[in-house]
Chains A and B, each alone.
Chain A
């Protein structure tokens, strides 16, 4: 009985779909905020006439929702703030391969090795500091410097934040667990303080509650754009190639159960078009990932390392290990 209903629904859906090339609408699950990405999605509808039904939410929650919905999910496209949630769905076999010409729009490290997700915007990991308390000349070159006595009790660490965990996972894979654990333990011993979110850190640094913080670059730009000179904080990028700098990339993926994969790929191509990439960097202060599109002048040089660039066999296991180490370090109790 249920199967029959499903068949009938499926048939009617596919007949309307076959009718005129493009479907009337696509369903998007977006872990990027509407305030940031809404205009880009509206431009897609204006260009193609395809209406987008968007469910906004946190990337992790939407990934869990997709996992529960399985192959009955109405979603065609999933936009995530970092590669983690996309990797989680990839492990479940829920993502479809993306067209090669779209993957070719970005550098090799900016899409997953098997071509199931593609990055479309980057945020750099930086050190935010209070400009009244800290002399720019004294800023550190390396994230390893932060364990020194001059930083005692002055650095905020967002231990439970997913961007921080993305960064720490790569940090660990590049330096080995021993070095990574020693660094985190030293940070804890040095009195670094735990904050739950990047935004909370930029706020706290701006009001001199704490002097430094490990965050994504984007938050300070938003605060400065909104508050002007009243915002007493600035970003500092670590030296080129230092482990402290890393690009966290926002990713787009096509859901394998989608019946509108062509249109879904069109949306991905739209996200990576020169026009939308320029909008992203000029208006949203993120790094463009499409080859040939320049970052906005105000942004510091883009970090070279990407989370997605490392081929991680078992993403979930690596993230679990990251969480174990972070928990064991005691940084969450600081």
Chain B
């Protein structure tokens, strides 16, 4: 009985532990064991910050060089309304994805839900739909005459609601962005030992209680990290809100980009300020979360606990299937419907498909290598900052973190233009214009945020005492990184890299503007066919994109976290 009370109260126990016997337990959250960061780490972080600040610097430069007064623009009705709509939408989507992503992560990592392996591959995939493709497929599938609408009609359900505005944007963005929460949370759950949960269970706590008291405090910072990414993504999204006819800040930026550049750039600056505020808020929340018990040892008994779902199996399966059904299958069915229509049309002597192998193979290969390369580079680039923030609790690290993460809110178009601007104005690098390094650099700057927060969580899972032990045994810094830290961080890093990879695969404006001329990826081809309204061709390309993203997610993300078991 006494034991049971101790377990229930463990978060408080950890807090006291912080103050008293922290060095022995190695719990993160005490200053005593925090060493000054090595100079190389600090230097690397400063360089990273400077590079990631380039798009923001470009926006500030343009606003200052504009002829209109930024303050007058900011105070106008045309600014405040889109700003309010943006905040509403981003907050709603963040909240719903936090619930959805966490629930799915728990179900697929901690329970005996049937077909667990399959779920772990397909649940993150909705992220890969380019926003405009997903929204277009979703809208046309659910509209009268659309395949989903008709199928549901057979079941006697009449869908007459027309999706648009806040509701439509919220629904579509929730379905396509919950993987930002799912991947980091699933990675964190995989890395956590089941011992605490097992003890709590043995002592009589039900699964719900175990989740609320034991699991939630440990995955809190991963949820916050994921929801932050969702917030920033929603703020920067153009495709979905455009099709859903919801005028957010990014829509205003796009609409005014050519003939009212002052306003366009002022809006971009406003977006950036909003992003910085949200990043700061998230840091505060996740720091308080850490005090509540994150950073527990992740080594030791690695068998994690499996909760038998029992009579909850059917509801859990139904919930998971309906999310995957809506977010992944429904758009895929619409795409398959369009693609098949094109095939049949060509077979019956109608207009032939304007697509040949040349249009598919080269772009597919380009998509694969550039997204994997970007994911690797992004992970390596953010790692020093993650160490600085998590291991050394450095103020500088916090600033660099804010710069890197807030940059995610800047729309891809602005990032691409800023890359051109800076390469033009940095004469020694002029020769790089239109070259592959600039493209990869643009991707890394745009998506680095996705790797950053997951990398911090990953660094936080490495217990200091293991590192200290290795140091005592004479292992050098690099050796410790390779043999102690990296294996432990692998699932977290892979989750972040997976996010970057999936995002890069679908990225459009930077690929169109900053790539070497003639470089085609699947997303540029999809855009090309969509612009010409060749829907069957677009659908086939989008399905190819979906398939290769499934293969890569399995190879690089799911297996990565499974090798630990």
Contacts and interface: CB of A to CB of B under 8 A. Distances in A.
A43 B341 CA distance: 30
A196 interface: yes
Contact of B513 (A3, A65, A209): A65
B345 A323 contact: no
B255 A323 contact: yes
Contacts of B162: 209
A48 to B, nearest CB: 19
Contacts of B377: none
A33 B531 contact: yes
Interface in A16-63: 27, 33-36, 53-58, 60-63
A14 interface: no
A27 B144 contact: no
Interface in B531-551: 531-537
A192 to B, nearest CB: 13
B243 interface: yes
A22 B345 CA distance: 43
Secondary structure class of chain B's binding surface, majority of residues: helix
Contact of B517 (A55, A72, A332): A55
B350 A222 contact: no
A226 B528 contact: no
A225 interface: yes
Nearest to B239: A196
Given A55-B517, A226-B351, A323 B260 contact: yes
B258 A56 contact: no
A72 B259 contact: no
B300 interface: no
Interface stretch (A110-118, A140-148, A181-189, A199-207): A199-207
B357 interface: no
Interface in B142-162: 143-146, 162
A1 interface: yes
Interface string A229-269: 00000000000000000000000000000000000000000
Given A2-B428, A35-B528, A225-B351, A219 B256 contact: no
Interface residues of B, number: 52
Contact of A207 (B145, B509, B531, B536): B145
Nearest to B341: A227
Contacts of B421: 68
A279 interface: no
A151 interface: no
Interface in A56-99: 56-58, 60-65, 68-70, 72, 74, 84-85, 88
A223 interface: yes
A298 interface: no
Given A2-B427, A54-B517, A223-B533, A84 B345 contact: no
B161 to A, nearest CB: 12
Nearest to A28: B517
Interface string A262-286: 0000000000000000000000000
B303 interface: no
A137 interface: no
A200 B139 CA distance: 10
B428 A209 contact: no
B287 interface: no
Given A33-B532, A65-B420, A56 B524 contact: yes
Given A54-B518, A209-B162, A319-B259, A35 B534 contact: yes
Contacts of B433: 69, 72, 74
Contacts of B532: 33, 35-36, 222
Nearest to A53: B517
A195 interface: yes
Contact of A323 (B256, B431, B533, B536): B256
Contacts of B247: 332-333
A160 interface: yes
B143 A207 contact: yes
Interface in A288-334: 315-316, 319-320, 323, 327, 332-333
Interface in B196-248: 242-243, 245, 247
B434 A195 contact: no
Contacts of B417: 64-65, 68
A219 B532 CA distance: 9
Interface of B: 78, 136, 140, 143-146, 162, 242-243, 245, 247, 251, 255-260, 341-342, 345, 350-351, 354, 413, 416-417, 420-421, 424, 427-428, 430-431, 433-434, 509, 512-513, 517-518, 524, 528-529, 531-537
7 contacts: A68-B421, A74-B434, A84-B259, A160-B242, A208-B144, A228-B345, A323-B256
